[in-house]
Amino acid sequence: MRERLRFVVLPLLLGAVGCATADYTQPIDDFAAATRDAKTALDDLDAQTTEAYRASLEKDVLAGELLARQQDTECQATSTRCRLVVIDRQGEKLGTYPPEPALQRSTVLMTQIDRYAASLKTLLEDDTADEVASHVNAALGSVQDLAGTVATLRGAGTPAPAAIAEFKTPVGAAIHWVVGQYVARVKLEGLQRATADANPVIGQAAELFATVAFFAADAAKKQFANDVGAAEDAMRAIPSADALSDYVAASARYDAFLTSAPPDLFGAMRDAHGALADSLQSDEVSFAIAYARIQAFAREAEKLAKILRDLRAIGANEEGSQ
């Protein structure tokens, strides 16, 4: 009787496991997509900011406000590097020219988080337990890399992160399990393991990201304000209906930016992943809460992307008017 009961109950339990894993397919897909959008937006911000800084340095060098010269001890016959540096009138070095990417550290962090999220998405698409385990370990490898980068960026005195143990497929009475249900079980345990290990590290990374959103907002304010000023100058120089329309449009764009909340992209990412991890570990955080926070994260990624599209449009308009 006990054997018969086991073969009746076990498929039901495993069927529940399969359903639980399927429930997370959409939110994890959405989390991976939002993470990819966040990475794209951050890469875009890095490129725009670096180019704006390069153009500013170039202008000051050509005007004689700054001096460009060889880096000390470089560019010799025995050198391994040859770079130029920019120096101000007080003799202080302002960095290399052309400048290094402005947000290089942040983009490295975001790339590692993006790889982690992509591995979560992929493991849900796998057909075998070995494939699932491989992608769980790929996710854990990204978490290990992320932890190492976080420790490096935190500076001296930060202990090196502990090694993350390899994920192995669950052992036991697998011989009695239907193959598809066993794979679903491995997926669920893999998701639980990966998100639990990643959660504190993503929280630490979010702290390091904190200044990026404000950096983006400050850069945006400067360009929006310049756009309004240029439109005002054009209106005063040659008053016309078109000039007035451009002036109104420029001020409206800046007003819309000022009255919207600044993007909290990385705080939203931390909260979304935290809810996802908690809902996989227990019933205290519901599936609905996790999904809502993932959607909030996606909205913040789109908000930053919109700011950058607006800035790019302003830059294009400024180049066209020159």
pLDDT at 219: 60
The predicted model scores a pTM of 0.75
Q: What are phi and psi of 93, to 5 degrees?
A: -75, 130
pLDDT at 122: 95
Beta bridge partners of 95: 86
Please give the Cα distance from 205 to 164 (Å, whole number).
17
* Number of domains observed in the structure of the chain: 1
Does residue 9 belong to any structural domain of this protein?
no
In this prediction, residue 33 carries a pLDDT of 92
Residue 4 lies in a domain: no
State the CB neighbour count (10 A cutoff) for residue 93: 12
Helices and strands: H and E segment counts in the chain: 8, 3
Domain-embedded: residue 37:
yes
Range of the domain at 169: 15-321
Tell me, yes or no, whether 1 lies in a domain: no
Whole-number pLDDT of residue 5: 36
Contacts of 47 (CB under 8 A, 6+ apart): 101
Q: What pLDDT, on a 0 to 100 scale, did the predictor assign at position 7?
A: 39
> Model confidence over 36-82: pLDDT tens digits?
988 998 888 788 778 877 887 888 889 888 899 988 888 888 889 89
pLDDT digit string (tens) for 86-133? 998 888 888 888 888 877 888 888 999 999 999 999 999 998 888 999
Residue 225 has, within 13 A of its CA and on its CB side, a CA count of: 7
Q: Does residue 168 contact residue 136 with C-beta atoms inside 8 Å?
A: no
253 belongs to a structural domain: yes
Sequence-distant (6+) residues with CB within 8 A of 223 are: 311, 314, 315
CA dihedral 68, 311, 246, 225 (to 10 degrees): -60
Q: Specify if 205 maps to a domain.
A: yes
Q: Is residue 7 part of a domain?
A: no
Is 6 a member of any domain?
no
Stretches where the chain sits below pLDDT 70 are 1-22, 171-180, 210-220, 223, 256-263, 283-285, 287, 311-322
pLDDT at residue 1, rounded to an integer? 43
